[in-house]
Amino acid sequence: MNSPRAHDLLWGLPLCALPEDAPQWAHQVVASGQPVVVRRAACADGWVAVGLRGLSRDQRLGTQMRLADIQRLQSPEALRWRAPSPWPALQALASVAPVLDTTGLAWGPTGGVGYQLATETGVLHLASDLDVVVRTPHPLARTKARELLDILDCAPCRIDVQLETPAGAVALREWAGVARRVLLKSPHGARLVADPWAAWGCAA
């Protein structure tokens, strides 16, 4: 099994891994066999930071999971949707998939869209955004980022794209902008950097 990365969905979290003060909805999520999502946070060897989600936006809980407890891993890259749907977020996914495929980069839906596709649990609504992660192991020119953003902004709903660099994630919308420094999110926290790719291996 591949090492878990941010946004991957994991199955197998045991109830005993929940914090003592975990709410009832979190116990129900775990007991029903629903997956948890990998968070971007530092952990001890053999552990991964994960988050649970309930049916409402205020139902979110962070915890940790032992790598040995992982029974199944689902990456965003394996999730696609091309059928008709009443949800704008799924319509957007179907419409922008060919555009993202032409970049040659690995990508996939995250957030509510990814969760619904992976679990068939109805969490989307008419105002849901489409969250996408794009794996960018090599630098993406800011001009290319602007071109991609211009195309994605024509979708049926707002699309939030995270560019996953070796050092962490940066929002496509920020990288396509004009600010000299952008916010890079890493397991060790967030910081402003001029080049998210050059930040790899640098101290905060």
- Catalytically active residues, by annotation: 129, 131
Kindly calculate the radius of gyration of the chain based on its CA atoms and give it in whole angstroms. 17
> What is the Cα–Cα distance from 11 to 61, expressed in whole angstroms?
16
